[in-house]
Amino acid sequence: MSAQYILQRQQVDGSIPWFDGGYADPWDHVEAAMGLSICGEWIAAERAYAWLADIQLPDGSWWAAYKDGGVENGERRESNFVAYFATGIWHHFLVTGDRDFLNSYWPTVARAVDFVLGLQTPHGDIHWAVDGEGRPREDALVTGCCSIYKSLECAINIAHALARPAAPWMAARESLGYALRELPHRFDRTWESKARFSMDWFYPVLTGVVQGGDALARLGQKWDRFVVPDLGCRCVDDEPWVTVAESCELTMALLAVGERGRAEKLYRSLHRWQDADGGYWTGYVYRDKAVWPEEKTTWTLGAMLLAADALAGLTRASGLFTGVQLLTRQLTKLPG
């Protein structure tokens, strides 16, 4: 598997849009950049992170989407999008062992995390976004907060690797984890529950919010509801649509609970969705026997590469999404 499809869509400024003519959003841009790192395309990956650093807003955030050198969506700035930058930076460091890279992006990471934690409530949950004027949109998403939980793990690791203070971030992560496990009423307060989405089911496992026997039990509870045998994982439980990226993420969640056999079988079923140009179709509507949408997103290939690394141990970052690896300040031996 190659990152060539991603490389061919990366823009001169370093941004990675969803597809030719599409926009780039910070979260999916980082997902694609991690795929570049795995494939040894380190310069291209570093260009991707430099692009985000260059356009970071003064408060540490990024707009929801960018296109052709400008802002495509200036209506909001999403907290999990902003936090994911730390995940990408830590991932690239794990792959390359480049301490200079890690150190150079510390200010960008610190500003991003401070923005995100400025949206944390006293209950531990984190507002999902601010609007165009910077006013918090006061509700929280399970999947979004789980993603932030993993990003905080990465940010804390970056801080500890660089001998920077991280105690407030550690406390915030603990509080967020408690809210996700014990305070379900803090999520989906102002809109319909997102429980129909498979990510709300497996993201607590993928990101380490729920571990061990509880994680294994969680995956078992809704397996038949979301997984279509020999096809993949459904995006939502009420539509006959399996998606490649969610199936890749579920693959890594399965590895996290020791279900390697299921993980391998699920992942093997996804290669049928690769097109001749190396890209992967986003999803498949099995009722109609049709690819839908007719898009081959860069972040879908990024997810395929992350799952491949998790399964095969291709890089030193292979365990990032299959377990919690929270460093302590006392740890002196680091990758690289």
pLDDT of residue 333: 55
Do the Cβ atoms of 176 and 149 come closer than 8 Å?
yes
What is the per-residue pLDDT for 336?
47
CA atoms within 13 A on the CB side of 165: 4
Query: Do the Cβ atoms of 51 and 15 come closer than 8 Å?
Result: yes
pLDDT of residue 39: 98
76: Cβ–Cβ under 8 A, 6 or more apart, which residues? 63, 64, 129, 130, 131, 132, 137
The β-bridge partners of 136 are 130
**Strand-strand pairing, 241-243 and 232-234:** antiparallel
Residue ranges, the chain, pLDDT below 70: 1, 329-336
Q: What is the pLDDT of residue 330?
A: 46
Q: Flag whether the pTM goes above 0.85.
A: yes
Which residue is it, tokens 């789980």? Answer: 146
In the numeric block, the tokens 């939980």 are attached to 149
* CA 54 and chain centroid, separation: 21
What's the pLDDT at 335? 52
**Start-end of H helices in the chain:** 4-9, 26-38, 42-55, 79-96, 99-104, 106-117, 142-161, 167-182, 198-206, 212-221, 223-226, 244-256, 260-268, 298-312
Q: Note whether 206 and 321 are within 8 A (CB).
A: yes
The predicted structure's pLDDT at residue 328:
80
Q: What is the pLDDT of residue 2?
A: 86
